[in-house]
Amino acid sequence: MAVSEGPLVVGVDSSTQSTKALLVDSASGRVVASGQAPHTVGGTGGRESDPEQWWTALCEALRQCGPAAREAGAVSVAGQQHGLVTLDAAGRPVRPALLWNDVRSAPQSERLIERLGGPKAWAERVGSVPTAAFTVTKWAWLRDNEPEAARTTAALRLPHDYLTERLTGQGTTDRGDVSGTGWWASSTESYDEEILDLVGLSPDRLPRVLAHGETAGTVRPRSELPLIPGTLVATGTGDNMAAALGLGLRPGLPVLSLGTSGTAYAVSTGRPTDPTGTVAGFADARDAWLPLACTLNCTLAVDRIAALLGRDREAVEPGGSAVLLPFLDGERTPNLPYATGLLHGLRHDTTAGHVLQAAYDGAVFALLSALDKVLDAYADPATPLLLIGGGAQGAAWRDTILRLSGRPVQVPRARELVALGAAAQAAALLTGEDPAAVARRWRTADGASYEAVPRDDAAIDRLAATLADAGPLLRTGRSGAVED
């Protein structure tokens, strides 16, 4: 191993499908070692994971970093947002965690919105209108459908909270990740007791919210964990907040993140309060805000279409009249939790490559519609789109975004921005710097730039018309009834 220029730190990205750990030189941002271990998503009728496998994957990813992991001076965990982790009095999971893309709580979401006075009241108070992705709706679903599990639950955590607590033994969270629960109010930056009463939840079952720059604790002695006991542990945060840190994002710069879900966001100095619910008014991991719009169906949905067609994900063909709305897991933007995928406009000359390109177009159309809501109030419409996430490395994703947005695109060279953001947060504990300034010093946003091309308005018009005309089909619930 090359000699490091500064103290080593660990940044962790615990996502839907795997946990990654980066061992990073805090002076230069150089990745000294890395590890990755998978976890599975299961469940009948929903999306669930056993939190124990996240811990096992974290330990394995750290072991893959080698002996140098024991030299780390600090560690930070970033995790998938919104997931509901229920723990019993001994700190063991009561049941598998309900993940962000489990949309079974759509009826509970509708009831909660009504009971607090409607979408505008939620937006002004909480900053967001809760969809089926939000933790508060998942807890309401659990109380309705698994009351014994709810009664056994002594503590509720988010995925990053769970892993941080396994490291330190302390129940903590941060303002960024907790802002996606629905029971933390951005207007007061505290837990909202009225909302907690609505869902029968006592605040003593929730983690303590740490301020930006606080320490969550230190690593406890654990035989399976290749970190030295006493290593500092940062607050950690949600994955989108960590990616913003990893870019060193300044206010007004728009980001498109292409992962299992697609997200569009920007850092803002003003508190978001979108009454339509399209833009979630998240806090960032520092002292600003992260207005974010999300689509459920992104890279995983397009890869599924490619698999059904028996084609490589890059094997697209231009042209064709087919329109595909790849809402395979319902959808969040537009808010269609019961939707399924829809293919329209097939002809004799339609090829598999045309259909695959139509899947990209459908996913990007939804993502750009989400971006428009963020750009309207919180980002500069003239700046390039920063394209990150696994899909950002794919030519088909990049070319489709260029064609449908009509905007220039910049693709950072740094690949693991969530883990790098967590590493920057850990480094800030040691150096006393702002974590975003650490990432800017590391030059994580540097990369390839692509000039704008003329926007394909014809494709956008076809997609918009199909979405409008298919409204009743896309609103059909699991029972077959059309949702109001």
Over residues 205-215, the pLDDT tens digits come to 999 999 999 99
pTM of the predicted model over 0.85: yes
Find which of 135-144, 219-228, 261-270, 386-395 is predicted with most confidence, using mean pLDDT. 135-144
CA distances from 247 to 38, 61, 253 (A): 25, 23, 10
Q: Is 239 a catalytic residue?
A: yes
What is the structure's pLDDT at 388?
94
What is the structure's pLDDT at 4?
62
Q: Is the pLDDT of residue 344 over 60?
A: yes
| Cβ neighbours of residue 249 closer than 8 Å, sequence gap 6 or more | 255, 266, 267, 386, 436, 445
Query: How buried is residue 149: exposed, middle or buried, by Cβ count under 10 Å (0-12/13-18/19+)?
Result: middle
Q: Which two tokens stand for residue 353?
A: 């490559």
Average pLDDT value over all residues in the chain: 93
Q: Is the pLDDT of residue 452 over 90?
A: yes
Contact 331, 297 (CB under 8 A): yes
What is the structure's pLDDT at 456?
96
Contact 267, 289 (CB under 8 A): yes
CA distances from 483 to 305, 336, 466, 474 (A): 26, 9, 19, 9
Instruction: Give 480's pLDDT tier (boundaries 50, 70, 90).
Output: very low
What is the structure's pLDDT at 3?
55
Whether residue 93 is preceded by a cis peptide bond, meaning omega within 30 degrees of 0, is: no
Please give the Cα distance from 347 to 330 (Å, whole number): 26
346 φ, ψ (degrees, to nearest 5) = -70, 145
Better-scored residue on pLDDT, 196 or 335: 196
Q: Is the pLDDT of residue 2 over 60?
A: no
**What is the per-residue burial (b if ≥16 Cβ within 10 Å, else e) of 435-450?**
bbebbbbbebbeeeeb
The pLDDT of 356-375, averaged and rounded, is: 92
In the set 239, 274, 284, 329, the catalytic residue is: 239
Which residue from 93, 13, 95 is spatially nearest to 61, judged by alpha carbons? 13
